[in-house]
Amino acid sequence: MRRLAATIALLALAGALLAACGGGSSTQSTAESTGAASGPPGASAQSCATKVANVASLQATAVSCSEADVVVRAWHGQDGCAAAPGASHSACTVRGYRCIGAVASAGLAVSCARPGHAIAFVAKS
């Protein structure tokens, strides 16, 4: 039950991030142009490519794709960031971002944030 609640909460957060950028398309949009109030004026939300093994669906809000990729690499390389066997979630701090992960069917859904900036990705198991 706890795992389901954590997964639903993380999916709701991811949905809010996607809604703020106008949908799940791969084109860049701005919160200002969509009328969403999810970040500072001019903050952009975008899908990013990453070459980190077993990582998919990298999204960045008010963060460049290169910075998002650096954070993902740091998360991937830091002990304690991935969920322990049998755990439903994980939490750690990487490069000034607080990262929280929830176990989902696709892997570990991770959301990393600091004031005004957000990064989300799925770490496949």
Residue 53 tokens, joined: 């093994």
Give the β-pairing of 55-61 and 89-94.
unpaired
Nearest-angstrom CA–CA distance, 31 and 41: 7
Residue 37 tokens, joined: 């109030």
Whole-Å CA distances, 74 to 28, 79, 80, 123: 24, 10, 12, 13
Averaged over successive runs of 10 residues, the pLDDT of the chain (125 residues) comes to 42 43 38 43 78 90 94 91 91 96 93 96 89
Q: Kind and range of the H or E element at 72?
A: helix 65-77
The closest alpha carbon to 68, from 60, 80, 76, belongs to 60
Q: Give residue 29's pLDDT.
A: 38
Q: Give residue 109's pLDDT.
A: 96
